[in-house]
Amino acid sequence: MSKIPPLLSSALALPPESSLILLTNILGASTNWLVLRYLYSALLTNEETNVVLGLDLEKFILKKRVVFVDGLEGLYVTQTPQKHVTMKSTEQIMLSIRSAIRELQSSSGKKTLLVIDQLDLLLAMSGDESRPVQLGDMLLDLREEAHSVVVTMAADSPLVTEQETPLEINHAALLLHTAHQADLTISLRLLDSGTARDVSGVIRITRGDVGFSKQDAAGKIEERELLYFVGGDGSVKVFERGQ
């Protein structure tokens, strides 16, 4: 895992208490590398920090610094033929995450960073039209349990602007609600002019209305647009336009 690009060091530092960070992606501009660098920042910080996330990092799991909560368990049909498959409810997922957070806090007392990778995936796997409200409430409750929360979601235009199908309507509702609640939003998209050999896409950093006031004083998180390039070896370069 490479070091954090200097231009993103303040934005990817351990977020302030009770903050919500939203990372959005589109097809062709994944936030995977951004999530990895959030984890890199949290796990190598000078402060003692636990991490609860939707990624399996065996090294830190063995060191008991990471807990993996599988929110997709029960959403797929198993290989063994069954007449009925029980879907894991939002409440069950929240209880599993809450249990993991409290277990870490009771054993170590460290700050806990909760990373929920592709929260919107649950919408595509459920026909429950009340899911956006349930997921929004779950996110609000979990913010009270963890030191801070990082959420990734898709922001592809068909899912947000068209809003013709139930999935599109539910997705747009959840994304907009989360964006309004977020203290910081980092969005990834492709170049407006098309693909380029040395540029993978564009990063846009947007602050919330009141969030990050303390961190701004020290870290100077600026609202800005940057370019990034993800190499074949997983390394990432972030630079300003014209560089």
Between CA 121 and CA 28 the distance in angstroms is 17
Q: Where in the chain are the domains?
A: 17-239
Find residue 80's DSSP bridge partners. Answer: none
Q: Which amino acid is at 191?
A: L
Assign domain 17-239 to its CATH superfamily.
P-loop containing nucleotide triphosphate hydrolases (3.40.50.300)
- Half-sphere exposure of residue 162: CA atoms within 13 angstroms, side-chain side: 10
Residue 93, token pair as written in the block: 């997922």
What is the DSSP code string of 169-181? HHHHHHHHHHHHH
Q: Find the range with the poorest average confidence among 82-86, 103-107, 114-118, 123-127.
A: 82-86
The reported pLDDT for the residue numbered 202 is: 97
The reported pLDDT for the residue numbered 82 is: 40
Residue 232, token pair as written in the block: 């074949």
- Whole-prediction pTM: 0.83
Pair 57, 119: CB distance under 8 Å? no
pLDDT digits (tens, 9 = 90+) for 143-194: 999 999 999 999 999 888 878 888 889 999 999 999 999 999 999 999 988 7
Residue 60, token pair as written in the block: 């830190």
pLDDT digits (tens, 9 = 90+) for 47-99: 566 666 544 456 666 666 777 776 665 554 444 444 333 446 777 888 888 88
Pair 153, 118: CB distance under 8 Å? yes
Average pLDDT estimate for 216-227: 75
The reported pLDDT for the residue numbered 1 is: 44
Between CA 99 and CA 197 the distance in angstroms is 45
